[in-house]
Every structure is written in structure tokens, then in C-alpha cells.
Amino acid sequence: MGLERLVIVRHGESVGNEAASAAERGGEEVIALPFRDADTPLSDTGEAQARAVGSALDAIGVTGDAVVWASTYRRAARTGELALAAAGLGAPLRLDERLRDRELGVLDHLTSHGVNARYPSEAERRAHLGKFFYRPPGGESWADVALRLRSFLADATAAPAATGVVFVHEAVVHLIRYVLEGWDERRVLDAAVDAPAPNASVTLLEAGAAPGDPWRAALVGDVAHLERHGVPATMHAGRHDVEPRSGDIDPGRPDDAEEESHAAAD
């Protein structure tokens, strides 16, 4: 038996999201946060969003037999804890470092303004290589993240359960789809722009009819549960990784900035 459905939840809004968005709007070079990226907590809004995810899991039919994983980063793991408690699910939350957010190396904690001002050669290199293959010094490219996700997904899809749930980061949402739906570079970059994953959004993938068939999306970036609970939906657009298709480099991410400005977006 293997997974037939995979529920992908992006973590709720984090204090890093808020700080990165503010820094980008203010034209600042550095996102001032005292935390490691891995330790960035949810904002008050993010905690409310995480609890609202519980009703989404219930609506999708997630039960206590589901296998549940989360990124080892605090904002994702906390989202999972709150969502499972709100849904009344007793499934254990398994932390897996392969689900962590993309690492930005020397660009960590920098806004797009900071990258252009302090590392102009990196901005040029990213423009030449493109978002998918550009790897900042000491960091990861989208392709690097996809490689570790292939390892995780090989294990996860073979789990003895019909439904799996993962609590992850924005770039990871898109790259799980890239792997399971059999996309190419262009398709995943287009999806990052055209099918965004707001904070605490839910994406549902279903396995193909036959082994080896690509998975398909039954639900993408859904936030209806937030509206039902009167919780604001947030989509921090500071990360150039998941926004413009220009040569701008991703602003560094103290938080989840998730892909783009690791602080602004995820």
C-alpha cells in the first residue's frame, strides 16, 4: 500500500514574513530579526491561520490514520501542531529536515535591495543562470531542494497509509508538485507565479491511476478555511523567487521568505 493522496500545507504567516515585507517596502538592505531562519516563529495571525487549517483537514477527510510530516523549521512544525490539535487528530507529527526551506547562504537576511547593493555579481549570476539553477554561495538552488525532496517523496509515497500530510514552505509546495506531477523547469516557475501558495493554504495532490503515472492536483493554494474562520489570508510578496520572472535575485530570507526573499514570502 502507498499514498493515494498528499495534502500540502504551507505554514502560517511568520514574524519573518512581516519583517521582510516591511524591509522590502522600506527599501532596507537587511531584514532585522534576532532568530535563525530555523527558529522564526509564527505571528499572531499565523497562529490563527494554523488553527483554521484544522477545519480544512477535516473537510478533506484527513483522519487519524494519516501519516503527517513537517519541516524541522519552527514555523512549519508549529503550524502542524496547531492544525492537528484543532482537527482533533492524534496522528504523530514527524519532523523531517528534507522538508526545510531553501537555504540562501550569504544572502540570508538580505532584501532584494541588499543583494543588489552588497552582491551585485550574484545578482548578475542569477540573471544569467535563472532562478531554478542559481545557487547562492553557501546556499541552495531550487534544483538542490528538488533533489532532497525526491528522497523524501520516495519514502513518503511508500508509506502504509492512504493519506499523507506535509507542513512546509512556499518553495517546497511548488517543488513537491514539480516532482510528483512530472513538471519541467519552466512549468514550476510559471506555477510559482500563476498558482501561488498563500500562508496556511492547502494543496491536495492525488496519485495517478497506475504506478508511475504523474500525480494530479485536485486543490491548489486553497484558503477558504481562513475565510470561514474570519482569519485574514496573507501572501507576502517580497520574495523575488516566487514572483517576477526577471533577473532580480531573491531577497534573503530570515524567515521563510520562502524562496524569494526568504523573509518576505515564506
Q: What pTM was estimated for this model as a whole? A: 0.91
One-letter amino acid of 218: A
Helix (H) or strand (E) holding 204: strand 202-206
Question: What pLDDT does 239 receive?
Answer: 43
Provide φ and ψ at 206, rounded to 5°: -120, 140
Average pLDDT over residues 230-241: 73
Name the DSSP class of 41.
P
120 to each of 113, 144, 173, how far by Cα in Å?
10, 23, 29
**pLDDT value at 26 more than 50:** yes
Question: What pLDDT does 20 receive?
Answer: 92
**pLDDT value at 38 more than 70:** yes
More confident residue, 250 or 81: 81
Map out the domains of the chain with their CATH numbers: 5-228 (3.40.50.1240)
User: In this predicted model, what pLDDT tens digit does every residue of 174-195 receive, in sequence order?
Assistant: 999 999 999 999 999 999 999 9
More confident residue, 266 or 34: 34
